[in-house]
Amino acid sequence: EVQLVESGGDLVQPGGSLRLSCAASGFSFRNYNMNWVRQAPGKGLEWVSYISTSGSTIYYADSVKGRFTISRDNAKNSLFLQMNSLRDEDTAVYYCARHYSGYDTFDYWGQGTLVTVSS
Amino acid sequence: DIQMTQSPSSVSASVGDRVTITCRASQDISSWLAWYQQKPGKAPKLLIYAASSLQSGVPSRFSGSGSGTEFTLSISSLQPEDFATYYCQQANSFPPWTFGQGTKVEIK
């Protein structure tokens, strides 16, 4: 069974940093591209970042470019999101999502981790 | 960026009703469209990919159609577990991958 479990969400002050993790199991993690998608309270879904299997290709949404860094450790079946210079508008539930290659959709999602940016 | 617009924003329906949700893309995306279902407090779940292909395990009462700029998600006979919010997502031109604003299916 495919499982994605996020962790690391917390309350942080504006300008602060946070590192999210996503532990993958039930599939060959190294063979899948991965993503982070977020959802602000009461709002819709926003794609945040993408990383290829080897980490050689990375994309970011304009809203987080220069502040967030996606990475992965295939030996530990883990995906990460380093979030710096956090803003109020970064408050959201952050989901890691497996990339459905060939169709460019997201076929499995974790349960999400809540990041709250507030003073 | 490609903008995705869903209509209606919400719909009230009864168990057994047929429900149709529309998603429009700001430019031609061929058949590169997915639909997701999200229940309160839960992660989104992939229902349909490539506009009309049913994801494994998804009941056959869900169907998708369309191409180009206009797409529909239909639920043939609404069940109690189908009350949720539904999102479309384009997969034609990225980054960024973009979603519609969501359609909430509520109990009448």
Q: What are the start-end ranges of the E strands in B15-100?
A: 19-25, 33-38, 45-49, 53-54, 62-67, 70-75, 85-90, 98-99
* Whether pLDDT at B107 is above 90: no
Please check whether residue A107 touches B, CB under 8 A: yes
Q: Which residues contact A56 (CB under 8 A, 6 or more apart)?
A: none
CA distance B49 to B56: 11
Distance from the Cα of B108 to chain A's closest Cα (Å) equals: 21
Per-residue confidence (pLDDT) for residue A70, from 0 to 100: 98
Please report the residues numbered 16 through 55 in chain B whose beta carbons come closer than 8 angstroms to any beta carbon of chain A.
32, 34, 36, 38, 42-46, 49-50, 53, 55
> What pLDDT band is residue B108 in, cutting at 50, 70 and 90?
confident
Per-residue confidence (pLDDT) for residue A80, from 0 to 100: 98
B chain contacts of residue A112, beta-carbon cutoff 8 Å: 43
Identify from B2, B5, B32, B46 which residue to disrupt to test chain A contact, counting A C-beta atoms within 10 A and taking the largest count.
B46
Higher pLDDT, B107 or B6: B6
Nearest by CB to B96, from A44, A47, A111: name it: A47
> What pLDDT band is residue B81 in, cutting at 50, 70 and 90?
very high
Q: Indicate yes or no: CB of B102 within 8 angstroms of CB of A44.
A: yes
Q: Which residue of B has its CA nearest to A94?
A: B43
Exposure of A20 by Cβ count < 10 A (0-12 exposed, 13-18 middle, 19+ buried)?
A: buried
